[in-house]
Amino acid sequence: MSISFDLSQDHLDLRDWVHTFAADVVRPAASEWDEKEEFPWPILEEAAKIGLYSVDFFATQAFDPVGLGIPITMEELFWGDAGIGLAIVGTALAAAGVSSNGTADQVGEWVPQMFGEPGDLKLGAFCSSEPDAGSDVGAMRTRAVYDEATDEWVITGTKTWATNGGLADIHVVTAVVDPELKTRGQASFVIPPGTAGLSQGQKFHKHGIRASHTAEVVLDRVRVPGRCLLGGKEKLDERLARARDGARKGGSNASMATFERTRPAVGAQAVGIARAAYEVALDYAKTREQFGKAIIENQAIAFTLADMKTQIDASRLLVWRAAWMASQGKSFDAAEGSMSKLMAGETAVKVTTQAMQILGGNGFTREYPVERMSRDAKIYTIFEGTSEIQRLVIARTISGAPIR
Ligand SMILES: Cc1cc2nc3c(=O)[nH]c(=O)nc-3n(C[C@H](O)[C@H](O)[C@H](O)COP(=O)(O)OP(=O)(O)OC[C@H]3O[C@@H](n4cnc5c(N)ncnc54)[C@H](O)[C@@H]3O)c2cc1C
């Protein structure tokens, strides 16, 4: 078996293609959409026109034989801008919710409807978090009840913090089907476009990633056909029976399965933000003069940049390792997916703060992009599992101890 840290020509081409879009279309629009705090439809349209916002593109990258297609795409796009980046990839994260829990028929039916076509774009949203169930997924209250007479599920509850929530055409919603089984009594459902009873609640005004839409989603006795239960009723009944018998096997609950697949991808987004801020700081340090010399000639500045670059590269290596492991079907015996997201998220916050420091007063203004990058970076210690939850997962996995 061989090992190489060289990217293949296909990966280099992918990186350059996404980078060109990020540099030419995303980065120049970043400040405008951050200020407007609105969903950047025109940029999504540009991404769709070149095939970047499309089911084919994300499906191809998701099946990359060594797993690097998604991390490379994420890093380059989020190097351009994180708010617009999330507006472009939010649907892909929802699609991962369908592909990790759904049957092949369900993936074929719903995922294309999440993307639409240039000129008629669609969005997907993944809705798991609730007002009283963030880190504690077991506290979920949204309830799905099966109506045998009509072969429909009736879903009621309030979801919060949903990326694309309410704007989306397809919502993927997690709900409790058997309250006694806690996380093992949950399932995921597709809510088709225009379903009665689903509405957008509050839209959140955020510290960062402001071009990405985040909102509450209210489900008031939403009725969906039986085929909207991801994985199907038979599989659900088997899983519930196993859980009731107390059997240990049977896999994780619906939300956790989705998060496991998406964590390295989210880590790669954080690497993109950190790299962007580092590059701005490096250029600035070489040209800004104080005391008759470039500020980079001060060891304090140069060593900070050395630390920034080292931590970014270490984060990327952890992300790539976890993505590669997922592609090879390896088990995450030391929670390597969580490690990658923890390291990359913490690095993005640290590096963007260091970049602001290197830019001095300019770093604190909206004339320079590191102020926005620093605001954007903070979400990476919060969503897709906070840093504390990543540490909890890693600590439990490496120790086997019931750490709380
Ligand atoms: C912009 C944005 C977009 C989002 N997008 C989505 C989305 O698309 N879909 C979706 O379902 N969710 C989404 N989320 C929700 C996100 O995943 C949650 O915010 C996150 O999981 C944390 O939950 P919480 O906010 O309820 O915090 P809480 O769980 O209340 O945590 C509060 C604090 O307590 C800490 N804490 C909690 N439990 C423990 C513990 N056992 N040990 C140590 N510390 C602990 C946390 O780390 C955190 O610091 C999004 C959130 C934001 C802000």
139 and 259 both lie in a single domain: no
The token pair that represents 261 in the structure block: 């697949």
pLDDT (0 to 100) of residue 88? 98
Is 156 within a domain? yes
At 2, the pLDDT band (50, 70, 90 cuts) reads: confident
Q: Is the pLDDT of residue 357 over 70?
A: yes
Q: What is the atom index within ligand 1 of the atom nearest the CA of 159?
A: 11
Determine the residue of 123, 135, 381 to mutate for testing ligand 1's pocket, defined as the one with the most ligand atoms within 8 A of the Cβ atom: 135
The token pair that represents 106 in the structure block: 């369900």
Is 271 within a domain? yes
263 and 387 both lie in a single domain: yes
Measured in Å, residue 131 CA sits from the centre of ligand 1 at 10
Q: Is the CB of 135 under 6 A from ligand 1?
A: yes
Is 4 within a domain? no
Question: Last residue of some domain: 244, 271, 294?
Answer: 244
User: Which DSSP letter does residue 148 get?
Assistant: T
pLDDT (0 to 100) of residue 93? 87
pLDDT (0 to 100) of residue 262? 77
Number of domains in the chain: 3
Each residue's pLDDT tens digit, 116-175: 999 999 999 999 999 999 999 999 999 999 999 999 999 999 999 999 999 999 999 999
Q: What are the φ/ψ torsions at residue 157 (nearest 5 degrees)?
A: 160, 180
Over residues 332-355, the mean pLDDT reads 96
240 and 263 both lie in a single domain: no
Measured in Å, residue 135 CA sits from the centre of ligand 1 at 5
Calculate Rg over the CA atoms of the chain: 22
Question: Last residue of some domain: 87, 105, 121?
Answer: 121
51: containing domain: 9-121
Q: Is the CB of 380 under 6 A from ligand 1?
A: no
82 and 114 both lie in a single domain: yes
> Is the pTM for the entire model greater than 0.85?
yes
Q: What is the atom index within ligand 1 of the atom nearest the CA of 128?
A: 11
97 and 142 both lie in a single domain: no
298 and 173 both lie in a single domain: no
116 and 128 both lie in a single domain: no
Each residue's pLDDT tens digit, 276-309: 999 999 999 999 999 999 999 999 999 999 999 9
225 and 342 both lie in a single domain: no
The token pair that represents 373 in the structure block: 């990058």
Question: Last residue of some domain: 244, 264, 290?
Answer: 244
Is 404 within a domain? no
Q: What percent of the chain lies above the pLDDT cut of 70?
A: 96
- Report how far residue 98's alpha carbon sits from residue 125's, in angstroms, rounded to the nearest whole number: 11
Q: Which residues are catalytic?
A: 384
- 């909207």: which residue's tokens? 228
- Report how far residue 204's alpha carbon sits from residue 95's, in angstroms, rounded to the nearest whole number: 23
Is 3 within a domain? no
Q: Is the CB of 340 under 6 A from ligand 1?
A: no
